Structure 1
């Protein structure tokens, strides 16, 4: 292996202090942080229109010859995935299966006009459907779902209409969707796209893994063909498993066989066939759709419902739903559910959008995504839809098979329209155990995220605790409380870490202007008479004492005790002049050993200081005064401009202050060494004279 070539760099320039650097290079602070935004504010109506409705801009530059065929193929492929996933996740939301297909049509049309992600496949997503299903279970009368009748698009569906003060599952779902839309549009108006940063990678991993286990637990009854009560409130998973254990003797053997065969076929396809086919063909086998079609045919012609009491999907109306206003009286009852779903669905969609945008080199606007989702949910709430979001599996397929833009979503919508108008009732005999099997297999990768705990534990014990607390709370308590626990613990972790900043002493790399940690680099040389203290983090009312204690610990000098030692030394020295005593001589010798003879200047490296408040500046003033009383000056080096402005406003550094500031650590060191040399020369001259 060849040795790296090291270039000798020689820098010749004047030594600068911070104020002089500002004067020489014409420092000019912008009066307001918003002035730049004001200069670039888009007053042109056309630009505002293009920003608000992005499809006008990108569609005008669409390369029809190059992109239309790939988009059509991607749209067709994703439409095939929408059918089984939509029906399965519709049941997951405790609403009729056809609602899942509605979600892949109505809100997706709005997202096509307003969204900025080119590859997000919008529609159903397991976690969001599960969260909606919880609200549906709490606020609706589940008996509506047992009412079935052959209806068309213009007739009234018993599963959708309410009776008296009771709400149907679809009514509750649309109320939740409407509430989610209100929160997302409010966040858009307030430009709160940044709120997604509250959901860290650790939190999202623990949350989605826990939700996956909740979903799997909710499907056990259909996998086994059991009829157990629907549980709501807290500890749903625990109560569900208890009910399953109590009713295990009533397991439907035919349902178990159907579930086992379906899961086996889907798993073999995903684990063995799909990787092999991917090497030879660009399009995946639509195994979920095949399973649903075969399951429907077998159930219909073998009369599984009549002979083996297999629970089937039941009524699926053909045609499009009649638009209706969501029950606004329910909005106040589902505010908490609406807020959590709004944040979760937006964060998932934005995360996926940013992944594809970074990979394929285009931009996704976080705030515009809020508008797109909010408007899509508003529109969908009038057409019996649950809140929609992006799906990782469908989005990945849409990109892998060659999709270029949201034209693929439009193609998918029109193919699903064909299904809604004519094909929907075909799936009425489909066993619910088949849909439950599709859900369980689809969530395998999400459930396997449980192995992330080991990864987070190796990287950070704090992150591992956040993951574990979020996961356990979601699984054993509830999804909303789990999300709250995760957010609170993430913020607490940030606070705790801010209270434990990294501190160290720096030494010089010989013959360079580099200064590095003397505890970690054996080649670093500590400069005699100098201590260079580096602090990484913020100095505020909560961390000011931490800064002071770390400084005194590493420098190994307590100015107050040092001053006390010097006063005692002066006192004992005076007593020796008057009357020599052995005890006084011993006291003087002991004090002389305690008094610092080495440190002559202290340099504070603020290059990694992120923030300082007036409380922190006051603490620095006290520390500076205490060191100056024992003749140790303090220099501040590499201070960022916002930090410098704060300490200047607070009076720590100005023309009256004795503290000197330098743009780099090297400037501060050179100044200190120059003063050391001058003082040494003066002392030498005095001693000779």
Structure 2
């Protein structure tokens, strides 16, 4: 339903000012090009250096520690810290097993690198440590380079030769952490914190969903109690499902029963108990830890391993590991995988940091986060740790419980240290199917991201295509190939939109100085003999042909074809015996009505010499058919480039530049004596 335009009820603006061209405007208002000295180093004067500012930027822990409000925040942080420690124990063990290393390594990862991150990290909410997607990626590398003799729960793959490397899974994981740390340090030095922009929200969502499916498939063998060969390379998920189907009769029904009961308990807790408890208290029931403790007691006193063949975690040493350098000869081998994991872990962690920083009104530094993660990983690599990353579930838990600062992680680390020093052996009898069940339930948030596909489809079909392609490639082929395909498609999307600028013809709104898309606004009027062409995008070597094609197509005149048709018409008319039908056909092809083309460059983002050269040829082409060209709304950088390339020094009578469309339209009307609804002279705001 359209509302009638009631002029009496609308506030009006009347502006009177001189009609300007760009040169006049620059001269009258003293334009001066900004001077930039690229050779002068960007440094602060000694008097400007503030030690406190340097300290706070380099060691962000002091940023919140000096302002810590004990009365307001301490209780919430203590409660959140205890809750985090309780969650870290089962998740650390589970994600350690997922990475194909001893379960205790997952708990080491939740302690050693986190201490360093607390000092150097800018996020006050990120719960760093183990994360399912990163553990899965690490597990792939561990299987590739570790000696099979260190993986007793797996049977040999008859289709692949057994290679004895002599490296333990922990050594491979440590070497990977070390190389990832070096990469993140280099990214920090090169100020590559913005690299996370390569991983769009769509890509990250599709990638993590696909990786979650991979994690889910990898846990089936522990849920069923089946021994399967180590599978490497591509199509692992498909091969795993095939192997499970082939060995399904070997299912351990006690293991399957335990898995079913535990998953049922965790689902009831998540869907029913958690919402009920949340109404009374922000502290959730630590059901994962309760399940582990209960299962450990049953496993020990019922001898589930000996009597029923249920696989258990096994040896968990007390105390902390001795620091040792990762094997130097292994570092080179893991570089390619390390680059992928370094970028993915950083992107996930920084994205989480940004989300909660915006919610709680503080800032996080992308480059400082690289330094913090690099420092944490290099420290952790000497203590048998996995590469660290922010955990989605634990970070959300910290926020929901009320954690305000990284004091939460400090408390969590001290409680975890107590477990590592004295309570570790108590968890040796934990059935692996329990940890697998915990992982499966923890994946719910990632798996539910599949619902985002419809939202992406409604907003942008290309984004939805990126999501689906990335997720399917991760699931069906491999994680690293999936990430590569996702990044490639995201970049292709950017190039697609760069090479497809928005173009349209503008029409005049009567009695105003407004000019709108004539296809979208039916109330627009076309001015006789004038076409107003708007181009939104860059004019460069890649888009110059698109610019020409869209310009000639929309205004309905191609100067080269016009010259040919006019020449043919003149030749035909000059003949002694003329063909009337042929002349009529040629007259229809010739356009003498077009007098001027206005090109609106107010939305031109950039240009290069190739684009300006094309523009110069377009102006020359229109000059040959006696059509004026007015360029309006140029940004200063584009104007300056036109000047450098000689487009403005030619002093052609057919090319003029104006600051606005209305200036150009008024100039056109004065030249061709075309009356307009409104003219402008002096600048003065009368009413509003």
Same fold (TM over 0.5): yes
Q: State the shift of 1:427 in Å.
A: 0.7
Q: Say whether 1:440 aligns with 2:446.
A: no
Q: State the shift of 1:642 in Å.
A: 2.0
Aligned to 2:105: 99
Aligned to 1:153: none
Q: State the shift of 1:565 in Å.
A: 3.0
**Contact 1:613 1:646 (8 Å CA) reproduced:** yes
Q: 1:71 aligns with which of 67, 74, 77?
A: 77
Q: 2:661 aligns with which of 660, 665, 669?
A: 665
Q: State the shift of 1:525 in Å.
A: 1.7
| Range with greater deviation from structure 2 (504-513 or 566-575) | 566-575
Aligned to 1:140: 146
Aligned to 2:376: 376
Q: State the shift of 1:588 in Å.
A: 4.7
Spell out, residue by residue over 1:284-333, the C-alpha distance to the aligned partner (whole angstroms, 9 max, x if none): 11111111111111111221111111000001111111111111211110
* CA RMSD after TM alignment: 2.4
Instruction: From the superposition, tell whether residues 204 and 555 of structure 1 become closer, same or farther in structure 2 (CA, over 3 Å).
Output: same
Q: State the shift of 1:393 in Å.
A: 1.2
**Contact 1:537 1:609 (8 Å CA) reproduced:** yes
**Contact 2:76 2:403 (8 Å CA) reproduced:** yes
Instruction: From the superposition, tell whether residues 228 and 497 of structure 1 become closer, same or farther in structure 2 (CA, over 3 Å).
Output: same
SS across alignment from 1:403 = coil
Unaligned stretches of 5+ residues in structure 1? 148-162, 681-689
Q: Say whether 1:622 aligns with 2:653.
A: no
Aligned to 1:172: 172
Q: Distance in 2 between matches of 1:242 and 1:18?
A: 71
Q: Say whether 1:8 aligns with 2:12.
A: yes
**Contact 1:209 1:471 (8 Å CA) reproduced:** yes
Aligned to 2:287: 287
Q: Distance in 1 between matches of 2:200 and 2:41?
A: 28
Aligned to 1:686: none
**Contact 1:142 1:169 (8 Å CA) reproduced:** no
Aligned to 2:681: none
Spell out, residue by residue over 1:235-267, the C-alpha distance to the aligned partner (whole angstroms, 9 max, x if none): 211121121111111100000000001111111
Q: Distance in 1 between matches of 2:494 and 2:37?
A: 26
Aligned to 2:673: 677
Q: Distance in 1 between matches of 2:10 and 2:392?
A: 47
Q: State the shift of 1:27 in Å.
A: 2.6
Q: State the shift of 1:145 in Å.
A: 4.5
Aligned to 2:33: 29
Aligned length, in residue pairs: 660
Q: 2:603 aligns with which of 594, 603, 608?
A: 608
Instruction: From the superposition, tell whether residues 678 and 88 of structure 1 become closer, same or farther in structure 2 (CA, over 3 Å).
Output: closer
Unaligned stretches of 5+ residues in structure 2? 154-162, 677-688
Q: Distance in 2 between matches of 1:430 and 1:83?
A: 12
Q: Distance in 2 between matches of 1:570 and 1:431?
A: 94
Aligned to 1:540: 540
Q: Distance in 1 between matches of 2:532 and 2:593?
A: 14
Q: Distance in 1 between matches of 2:41 and 2:663?
A: 36
| Range with greater deviation from structure 2 (58-67 or 482-491) | 58-67
Q: Say whether 1:364 aligns with 2:364.
A: yes
Spell out, residue by residue over 1:362-412, the C-alpha distance to the aligned partner (whole angstroms, 9 max, x if none): 111101110000000000101111000111111111112211111111111
Q: Distance in 2 between matches of 1:59 and 1:290?
A: 34
Q: Distance in 2 between matches of 1:33 and 1:48?
A: 26
Aligned to 2:57: 51
1:569-580 mapped onto 2 (5 Å cutoff): 569-575=569-575
Q: Distance in 2 between matches of 1:389 and 1:341?
A: 10
**Contact 2:669 2:675 (8 Å CA) reproduced:** no
1:241-320 mapped onto 2 (5 Å cutoff): 241-320=241-320
Q: State the shift of 1:587 in Å.
A: 4.9
| Range with greater deviation from structure 2 (94-103 or 11-20) | 11-20
Q: State the shift of 1:25 in Å.
A: 2.7
**Contact 1:501 1:535 (8 Å CA) reproduced:** yes
Q: Distance in 1 between matches of 2:164 and 2:503?
A: 67
Q: State the shift of 1:44 in Å.
A: 4.5
Spell out, residue by residue over 1:466-498, the C-alpha distance to the aligned partner (whole angstroms, 9 max, x if none): 222211211111111111111112112222222
SS across alignment from 1:382 = helix
Instruction: From the superposition, tell whether residues 679 and 85 of structure 1 become closer, same or farther in structure 2 (CA, over 3 Å).
Output: closer
Q: Give the TM-score normalised by structure 2.
A: 0.92
**Contact 1:539 1:611 (8 Å CA) reproduced:** yes
1:430-579 mapped onto 2 (5 Å cutoff): 430-575=430-575
